[in-house]
Amino acid sequence: MQRQIQVYNSLTRQKEVFTPLHEGFIGMYVCGPTVYSDVHLGNCRTFVSFDVIYRYLQFIGYKVRYVRNITDVGHLLDDGEDRMSKGAKQNNLEPMEVAQKYTVGFHDMMRIFNTLPPNIEPRATGHIIEQIEMVQAILNNGYAYIANGSVYFDTLKFAEKTGEYGRLSGRVIDELLAESRDNLKNQDEKRHPSDFAIWMKASEEHLMKWNSPWSVGFPGWHLECSAMSTKYLGEHFDIHGGGNDLKFPHHENEIAQNMGSCGCQPATYWLHTNMLLMNGKKMSKSDGNTISPVELFTGDSPHVTKGYSPMVVRFFFLQSHYRSTNDLTDEALQAAEKGFKRLMEAGKILTSTVIDTAGEGPLDKDILEAMEGAFADMDDDFNTPRALSRLFELVPIINSIKDQKISKDQISKTAWDTLQEKWFHLLFDVFGLMEDTASAANGPVDGLMQLIIELRQQARDNKDWPTSDKIRDTLQELEIVIKDGKEETSWTFK
């Protein structure tokens, strides 16, 4: 029997008891990346969050079909230019070369973060036929119109007949106007500014285009997810997820397309992750407030004093609820690193310590209640920070057993074995954390480097600049970078 869980449904704006459409089976669709550039850290947070949700649903006994798409056509910039075409021009490559390059990079980054691959990962370009068929169905149902070879969804008619448009995002149709991301150059073709393209006629110079009954063109960005979720999960499925920034227009328009084609709301539950901030502000390349995953791992950024391992970054993501903003700062990462190490060290103690006390121990109740509480927290809309806090409550007990401050007869064998089993299930199977093998492998090297850093600091304190410079220059030749921070000096491989 599966555990009963609650999820916050963005569609109804409230927590609801999760009830799958089919007993024991869950269909989950998550909007994937547009592969015209490297995946950014905010995307990584979203995919890690849904990886934890996927892992937990499987752990508690559900069979999950997890579908996550690759957008390799049709995602437009605000000036109407296709992101894939732009990426092709910038890289001097064919669009499919761009798609392949950044899809491989995305998969590599997901492996680095230890996310499980989805069961199905469809590409938009592999489902043009399904998208054309959905456009025709929407036209047949009277929710779209043709203008100069392009096809637009009629939001006013849809809103009047169904009352659904704007329900997910909470927007009134009169306020929507020109907020849709499709081609703003073609606003004069629309009957209403909030109408959006589901098929676009391509210009002669457009790189990605296909034949259709209406024109040589390409599908609108929103259409691909409607077509692919329907193909692999059916007209109505359980969970649709993505970043909060996709709520409007992307997910709002998905709902309209699905209902316009088959009269069915695509998903029962809509889950959205919140924004990853940096230093309290939205990440932005224009003002320099940004960092890539690689820069975060290497420490090659003015925003961090050192590099952080992928598992520390994943742990940092889990310290905030997926629906809350997450503020990336160097101080928060340092705290996450310490917290991650504490849990890993406690796990080692659990593995290496044998307790064979028969009967119930006085600490059994505290231990078992804390572990059950951690899983209850996960049942409550996948509350990872609260579940982690339960583990930290147990760390002093585990450490005290090791240090013999607490006698082993205070805990029964049954409670200790249960703690060990559930601890690793939660930490590794559900949270997807791993032992930081890079740090473990670099243990002796790290010790030597700390000694070298101390010797360099002594030379600087004594104003022995030749020795200080020689240490720095020799390390640079070995491609080891020294970074002096406000509180400490760190090192990383170049």
Is residue 288 in a domain?
no
Check whether residue 48 and residue 167 sit in a common domain: yes
* pLDDT score for 92: 73
Check whether residue 198 and residue 232 sit in a common domain: yes
Q: How many domains does the chain have?
A: 3
* pLDDT score for 270: 98
Do residues 20 and 221 lie in contact, with contact meaning Cβ atoms separated by under 8 Å? no
Check whether residue 348 and residue 406 sit in a common domain: yes
* pLDDT score for 439: 52
**381/182: higher pLDDT:** 381
> Of how many residues is the chain composed?
494
Check whether residue 329 and residue 362 sit in a common domain: yes
Check whether residue 235 and residue 339 sit in a common domain: no
* pLDDT score for 441: 45
Is residue 43 in a domain?
yes
Residues 106-120: what's their mean pLDDT?
A: 97
Asked if pLDDT for residue 228 goes beyond 90, the answer is: yes
Instruction: From 273, 290, 324, give the residue that closes a domain.
Output: 273
Check whether residue 267 and residue 305 sit in a common domain: no
What is the per-residue pLDDT across 244-292, written as a single tens digit (0 to 9) for each? 999 999 999 999 999 999 999 999 999 999 999 999 999 988 888 999 9
What is the per-residue pLDDT across 147-177, written as a single tens digit (0 to 9) for each? 999 999 999 999 999 999 999 999 876 665 4
Which residues have C-beta within 8 Å of that of residue 15, sequence separation ≥ 6? 6, 7, 8, 9, 381
* pLDDT score for 440: 47
* pLDDT score for 285: 84
Mean residue pLDDT across the chain: 90
Is residue 442 in a domain?
yes
Lowest mean pLDDT among 201-215, 298-312, 428-442: 428-442
Is residue 135 in a domain?
yes
Lowest mean pLDDT among 235-239, 410-414, 451-455: 451-455
Q: Which domain holds residue 145?
A: 19-273
What is the per-residue pLDDT across 403-412, written as a single tens digit (0 to 9) for each? 999 999 999 9
User: CATH number of the domain that 208 lies in?
Assistant: 3.40.50.620
Instruction: From 220, 255, 273, give the residue that closes a domain.
Output: 273
* pLDDT score for 176: 56
Is residue 281 in a domain?
no
Check whether residue 134 and residue 190 sit in a common domain: yes
Is residue 108 in a domain?
yes
Check whether residue 88 and residue 198 sit in a common domain: yes
What is the per-residue pLDDT across 295-342, written as a single tens digit (0 to 9) for each? 999 899 999 999 999 999 999 999 999 999 999 999 999 999 999 999
Residue % of the chain over a pLDDT of 70 = 89
Is residue 11 in a domain?
no
* pLDDT score for 180: 45
Do residues 314 and 113 lie in contact, with contact meaning Cβ atoms separated by under 8 Å? yes
Check whether residue 419 and residue 457 sit in a common domain: no
